[in-house]
Amino acid sequence: MARFSLPPEGGWGEGGIPKGESMNRNRGLCKSPATVRRARSSRRQPTPAEAKLWRRLRDRRAQFKFRRQHPIGRYVLDFFCPEAMLAVEIDGDQHSRREQIRHDQERSAWLKVHGVDVLRVPAAEVERSVEDVIQGIWEACEKGRDK
C-alpha cells in the first residue's frame, strides 16, 4: 500500500525536498535554513560544560569524530558522531522542568526513528568529571558503531 503525504506549506523543491530546505548527508534528513542559523549561533556561544567537553571531543587522537551544534531535521544536537549515529546532549538545570522533559522525550523519539541514539549527560557531571563522561561517550560510540 502506498503512503502519501501532503506537500509542505511552501511546496516541493528539487529532489522532493521541501522548498527552503537542503539535503543533509545524514540519511537524507532535511535541515531548514533557520536550523542552520541556530546551530551556527550556538557554536559561537557554547555553555561552559559544552566548551569543556568539546575541547576533549575534538582531540585528534580521539577514537571517534564529533561535530558540535549539528543541525539534523528541525533540531540542533549539542554533539553528533556520524559513525556511531550518536547524539550527546548536555543537559543544564532547565532540562528538569516538566515542559522541557516532554520536549526532550519527543526529540529523542524523533531521533531514534531516524536512527540516532541519544546520550544525555548532566552539565554538572561534565564539570565534575569530564574524563568519566568521555569514557561513557566512547563506550556508547562503540555500541553504536557495532549496530
Domain ranges of the chain: 16-145
Q: Say what the pTM is.
A: 0.73
Q: Mark out the alpha helices in the chain (DSSP H runs).
A: 33-44, 48-57, 98-113, 123-128, 130-145
**Residue scoring higher pLDDT (127 or 40):** 127
Q: What is the pLDDT of residue 60?
A: 63
**Percent of the chain residues topping a pLDDT of 90:** 42
**Percent of the chain residues topping a pLDDT of 70:** 73
**pLDDT tens across 10-34, in order?**
544 443 444 444 444 444 466 677 7
Q: What is the pLDDT of residue 96?
A: 67
Tell me the pLDDT of the chain averaged across its residues. 78
Q: Is the dihedral of CA 42, 48, 50, 54 positive or negative?
A: positive
The whole-angstrom separation of Cα 9 and Cα 43 is 30
Considering the domain delimited by 16-145, tell me its CATH architecture: 3-Layer(aba) Sandwich (3.40)
* Confidence check: pLDDT of 36 > 60: yes
**Could you give the C-alpha distances from 77 to 8, 80, 126, in angstroms and in order?**
24, 6, 17
**pLDDT tens across 3-12, in order?**
333 444 554 4
Mean pLDDT calculated for residue range 72-80 = 90
The whole-angstrom separation of Cα 8 and Cα 121 is 35
Mean pLDDT calculated for residue range 107-119 = 92
